[in-house]
Structure 1
Amino acid sequence: MRAILNVAQLLCVSQFALLWFAALFLWIATPVFALDEENDFSLQPGDVLYIGFPGEAGFNQAFVLDANGKIDLPELGPFKISGQKLDAAEAKIRKLMALVFKGTERLNVSLKARNLLIQVLGYVAQPGQVTAPASANVQSAIQLAGGLLPGAQLDRFQIQRGGRTIEFNYKDYLDSGDAQVLPELQSLDILFIPASPLTGNVQIDFDAATLSATGDAADDKKSFRIFGEVVSPGRFALKDGYSIVDAIMRAGGVTRYAGVEQIKIISGARPITFNLKTYLETGDERLMPPVQPGTTIFVPIQEEEIKTGSNVVYIMGEVFKPGAYENKPEATLLDILANAGGPTRFAESRQMRILRSDGSVTPFDLQAYTEGLSQSVLPVIHAGDAIFIPEKTDTNEASWLKVPPSRAIKIIGQVYNPGRYEWSDEMSLLDIIAHAEGPTARADTANIRIMGPDGRGNTVSQVFNLEHFFDQGGNIADLPVIRAGYTIVVPELPQDPSDNKAQWVRQSREKSIYIMGQVGAPGRYMFNDKLTFLDILSAANGPTANADLHRIRIVHRNGSAAHMTELNLALYFQTGDETLLPIVKPGDSIFVPEKNGSWLDRPKEEMIRVIGAVNNPGRYEFDGEMTILDLLAQAGGTTEGAYLNKLVVVNASCCASRSVAFDLEAFMKMPDFSTLPVLRPGDTLFIPAKQDSDWRIFMEGVSDVFKLISIVAIIGVL
């Protein structure tokens, strides 16, 4: 039998040894990131460390450095090790673990994998944080985020790193396969993929080929416009080395009606006429002008007789019949516009330009002139001048920067459509707010802030009470003067502090009132001269069930010195006397104490002390309508050992203190309320115990004498 047991024990030990060696083999076989020199790099977020610690179940596994560079170990919690070499990180881990574990010499720390934590945002299928290998590039990160969505703008990818933005052209990489054009990724990079501005402000499925046929420009500063007799007029991206022929080919070529001998090119302030026919016949590259960013190309319709010469005026842009017209000396700008059919519905008639033959440019606001708002006269048109009417800015495009700051105004905050709008001096504050679709339900219209330059390089601001203007009315001339370049901020009303306390910091102290203690939602609340004490108490969800309504305190801080008033709200609810309610102003503080709260916060002059043989001795509130009987009842009544024949009342007054004895037992037999002692706040009521009475002391003395006589008698008998 003993032999069998020995064999069983040997088998158990062998199995244990086999399991130990298997675990050791798995630990050794765990894949670990290997470099020739492990300490040639610093740890970064996303790296994976294998921490082996035999005998501890929470270890012997991989741990990942989070986005803050911290590692979370059992019993130690998270601590930062990013930026350190591997041996320095291992020393720090070993030092911290020695505070909690023993045998840290068995600890083994090794680098299992190097990863990158990358935020992939924007026009991808699954935006968010991805974990990529250290060797991953931009394309790998995009694939981990689900790939690009149709409509992503490939030439304007961004990497945001440490407060700076790196912009690169992903399309070049897809065209060439050259990975050198892609910036290397670093951990905690933010890879942002923008949407093409051609998709508009509403995300929809679209045919990219059809959409790009009308233009593919993403930036006004790097594009050119071509219109007239071409297959696909529009705005197109400008590539390096583009010529006028390349631009025409990008627009699908000219139509059969094109007047290729009179192609107009406006680059800068001077128009150029290009004869495509002569270039095709001679091949002279010197005849072909370059295309600059912002260039406008107009291909006119072919006419039986091309109008050229010293009497021709050109009109182009958003008119119904652009072209070249014979100019007569008596013809005005309106005559020429009428001859061209007038501006179209897409014309930006406020930004007309007359390109003079001498290279100068004359701006003209046709809309203001027709409305009688402009004091200027019609500009004189000379032979050789070109009249250009640009296209109206489309607010649905991301290219709202086409409106320069000198003609724009910004409105932000609580309006339904904040943004940047074109401004005209005949507009008012009400116009721009209406243009932004009006204030939202959360708008604080009583504190609209208007900021603008003062002409000396500084920004000044003023506050306008639009709510008062709406309620009381007023003269339109009283509205603040708005100029182009100004910024209008419509602030948000503060939220309920119980919902979002972070909103408190955005609320002005001068317009706030504080309420704390036993109310449903204590905090800071917006307050104005229309609100009362009950309004602010209701805003805080009213007093709780534990609130002491008899002694609510209000600290007034709006005068030269702070002072406190006390309110008996229960008395107000009993009488309805409005004069009991205090007047509160912004900056005041309201405190609703707890019922049966600590008596230490009440001065002794307002309390009565009850001590001695009562069930609940202590300090109690007392008013002029209460008697000693009420006080005893509030203290839980007297105990069984109370000596009721001599209750002592100690009266405290301003001049001297005195004590009065009261026989409660005699009062109970023959009640006479006129004999009840007078009590005032600050007094003390003492109820002695029977063992402290004179009769009890006397009887105990007599008992001792009889005990002594009995002892003497017993001794005498003995």
Structure 2
Amino acid sequence: MRRLLLILTLIFLSFGTYAQEEALRIGDILTVSLPGEAALSKDFQIDRKGRVTLPEVGALVLSGKTPAEAEKLVRERLGKAFRDLDRLTVVLKERRLLVSVLGYVKTPGPVELPGDATVQMAINTAGGLSQGAQLDRVQVRRGKQTLNFDYKKYLDSGDTSLLPDLQPLDTVFVPASPLTGNVQIEFDGRTLAAAGDGAEERTAIKVFGEVNTPAIFAYKPGVTAVDMLMRAGGVTRYAAVEQIRIINQGKPILFNLQNYLDTGDKAQLPDVQPGATLFVPKQMEEIRRGASTVYVMGEVAKPGAFDGKPGATFIDVLANAGGPTRFADTRQIRVLRADGKVEMVDLPRYTENPTAAPLPPVRPGDAIFVPEKMDTNEPSWLKIAPGRAVQVLGAVYKPGRFEWSDEMTFFDLIAQAGGPTARADVSHVQIIKSDAERAKPTLFDLGAFLDKGGDLASVPKIRAGTIIMVPELPQDPSDNKAQWTRQASDRSIHIMGQVGAPGRYAFSENFSFMDILSAANGPTSGADLRNIRISHRDDIKGAARVTKLDFTRYLETGDGTLLPRVKPGDVIFVPERNGDWLDQSKENTVRVLGAVGKAGRYRFSDDMSLLDLLAEAGGPASDAYQEKILVVNLGCCQEQARIFDLVNFAKTGDVTKLPVVRPGDTVYVPTIAQSDWKIFMDGVRDTVSVLSIFALIGGAL
């Protein structure tokens, strides 16, 4: 253990002796030790002004002094504040460099480095180089002195002798490449490298024209024209390689690259001098025309002129042109013959059935034109010729003009128009076909076909120029009566009278009488359901007939045969129940006279009784003589009168005592004041002649 301590002591003394010989520099770190004084026993760094600031004594300039001289100076200055300085020591602990890194680095500014640090370490401490830094002109500035060096060459070779040594307070400056311009933008190294590395040097070589990456490149001795073309990414497919221009020191040279590549003669390869210019012109294509030339134009990948060899087909020529693009309308390809004729080619149809749509032969001088696909959503309808268009109007979601093809059907066209709307009258679709100068409209019941099916031959055949009109159902007449005009009268049902919403309603063959009555919101409370009238429009010579309907009987029995069948053009009338009595014939009514609530004529049926009539007339009045109600029967064979005792009937309830009432009869209820009749009537038989009764009535009145 003692031997190890002895060895360490010798190493420390030898290092101290070595350090005593070197002068202190800015950035060095000193260790000051004075036992018993914690404020002095620590490390102090020499700042950028060469000073060390100690407690109690302030700043001391130690830069340029040896460690022994520094210790002596510190001892002298501390002696004014401290008495016992025998154990004071000042030792150089570490060499450090304080330099600045500026320019095109990521974090420019002052940096602190180890004492033996290099320029590369200084740049890395500053974050590294930024994209666009010019590496061949890096500078180290030391006071008024500037040291330039090629940092790129050092990176290529690794020769550290190419880098200058750093000293305290040096400034490493990295300039920006002139190619970055005057505006700071973000870019990658590949973009900057594509602009070349020649910057603004007079010896740089300029390469432009039909090359892939035109740029300015630094000149290197022995470089050739092919070398420079390769650095520029090579020539493009449009380059005129036989006409390359090279300007060497103001003298133009014509270089035929194609001839050089064919022969390999190095004598044809010109040297490139510093500051030379290389220009690759664009090849000017001549108009190609020959006895076997076929032209392909329009929406193909490679339009142009092609030599048509014998036996070449339409597909061969189109394939050599790269085939149709995704914008091509392959259904409308045109073959323009040399004699001026035009032939249409439907390529998709050929692919589906080659025998049904064979491709035309292609002969020399012909031109194949592939048009652009039409966008039917564009406002310009002129892109579709009238001879290829079909118009869809009315109640569809997308009415307009649509391009037509013979393999399409009526349903394809309706689907293309978005289908019928919710208010479309699909039962009366109108189809107008033009024939020369005359139009022929036809009707098609699309709704019935969709519901029940049918023969596909019954579906109308559509051709270019056809107009399809899908009518719209009228609005609710209670909301907007002006909409009635949209529905033709011969396709409507009229319902009037005592219904909730009288008016004209669209009719379908599937509708029944109940459907129409329900559409009109049904009968009102004052409707006379026993005498509904239906006026039918006869198809023969426009004649009409009327059907009477007792709707109450249908409601009682549920017999559907009682309901009449209605057709378009019919009229349904629901009369008022308490209508004018003059509207009723005397053969269908019964007269109720005398002391009743409401005397008058009342409609009578076989299922009614005298009690029903009295109730209909409001019942006997308070002064009615109810024991002698007179019923006068006017039958076909016999006229007679009978007396009815309502009070006795109310006590017994014997319905057999009710007199029979028939249409045309008269019921008379006398008053109490007329009870003198009782004396007279007691002596009269129950049955008397009609003429005698009328005489008695006349005498009483």
Give me the TM-score of the superposition, normalised by structure 1. Answer: 0.51
Asked if 1:632 corresponds to 2:626, the answer is: no
SS, match of residue 331 in structure 2: helix
Q: 1:692 to 1:387 in 2, by over 3 A?
A: same
CA distance in structure 2 between the partners assigned to 1:341 and 1:304 by the alignment: 19
CA distance in structure 2 between the partners assigned to 1:662 and 1:474 by the alignment: 69
Asked if 1:442 corresponds to 2:447, the answer is: no
Counterpart contact for 2:473–2:486, Cα < 8 Å: no
Counterpart contact for 2:538–2:545, Cα < 8 Å: no
Other-structure match for 2:307:
326
Name the amino acid aligned to 1:327: G
Q: 1:258 to 1:558 in 2, by over 3 A?
A: farther
Give 2:535's match in structure 1, choosing from 532, 536, 555: 555
Other-structure match for 1:608:
590
Counterpart contact for 1:414–1:439, Cα < 8 Å: yes
Q: 1:676 to 1:438 in 2, by over 3 A?
A: closer
SS, match of residue 349 in structure 1: coil
Other-structure match for 2:480:
500
Other-structure match for 2:667:
685
CA distance in structure 1 between the partners assigned to 2:522 and 2:239 by the alignment: 79
Counterpart contact for 1:451–1:486, Cα < 8 Å: yes
| Residues 397-408 of structure 1: pairs in structure 2 closer than 5 A | 397-408=378-389
| Residues 182-581 of structure 1: pairs in structure 2 closer than 5 A | 307-372=288-353, 375=356, 377-455=358-436, 457-558=437-538, 562-581=544-563
SS, match of residue 417 in structure 1: coil
Give me the TM-score of the superposition, normalised by structure 2. Answer: 0.52
Q: Deviations over 1:548-600 (max 9, x none)?
A: 33433333333765443433333433443333333333333222223433333
Q: 1:630 to 1:488 in 2, by over 3 A?
A: closer
Q: Deviations over 1:47-67 (max 9, x none)?
A: xxxxxxxxxxxxxxxxxxxxx
CA distance in structure 2 between the partners assigned to 1:693 and 1:584 by the alignment: 57
Name the amino acid aligned to 1:648: L
SS, match of residue 323 in structure 2: coil
Counterpart contact for 2:427–2:508, Cα < 8 Å: no
Other-structure match for 1:649:
631
Higher gyration radius (CA): 2
SS, match of residue 502 in structure 1: helix
CA distance in structure 2 between the partners assigned to 1:559 and 1:364 by the alignment: 52
Q: Deviations over 1:330-359 (max 9, x none)?
A: 322221111110111111223323334455
Q: Give the Å deviation of 1:372.
A: 2.6
Q: Give the Å deviation of 1:318.
A: 0.5
Q: How many residue pairs are counted as aligned between the two chains? A: 402
Other-structure match for 1:297:
none
CA distance in structure 2 between the partners assigned to 1:508 and 1:257 by the alignment: 70
Give 1:622's match in structure 2, choosing from 597, 601, 604: 604
Other-structure match for 1:279:
none
CA distance in structure 2 between the partners assigned to 1:582 and 1:360 by the alignment: 66
Name the amino acid aligned to 2:558: G
Other-structure match for 1:280:
none
CA distance in structure 1 between the partners assigned to 2:624 and 2:454 by the alignment: 78
Q: Give the Å deviation of 1:460.
A: 0.8
SS, match of residue 504 in structure 1: helix
Q: Give the Å deviation of 1:373.
A: 6.7
CA distance in structure 2 between the partners assigned to 1:478 and 1:626 by the alignment: 56
SS, match of residue 483 in structure 2: helix
Q: Give the Å deviation of 1:376.
A: 5.7
Other-structure match for 2:572:
590
CA distance in structure 2 between the partners assigned to 1:559 and 1:316 by the alignment: 63
Q: Deviations over 1:354-380 (max 9, x none)?
A: 334455544433333333377564334
Counterpart contact for 1:691–1:697, Cα < 8 Å: no
Q: 1:545 to 1:693 in 2, by over 3 A?
A: closer
SS, match of residue 515 in structure 2: helix
Name the amino acid aligned to 1:463: L
Provide structure 2 residue ranges, at least 5 long, that are not aligned to the other structure: 1-235, 241-281, 681-701
Provide structure 1 residue ranges, at least 5 long, that are not aligned to the other structure: 1-254, 260-300, 699-718
Counterpart contact for 1:552–1:593, Cα < 8 Å: yes
CA distance in structure 1 between the partners assigned to 2:592 and 2:293 by the alignment: 113
Q: 1:640 to 1:544 in 2, by over 3 A?
A: closer
Counterpart contact for 1:514–1:525, Cα < 8 Å: yes
Name the amino acid aligned to 1:334: I
Counterpart contact for 1:514–1:524, Cα < 8 Å: yes
Q: Give the Å deviation of 1:426.
A: 1.5
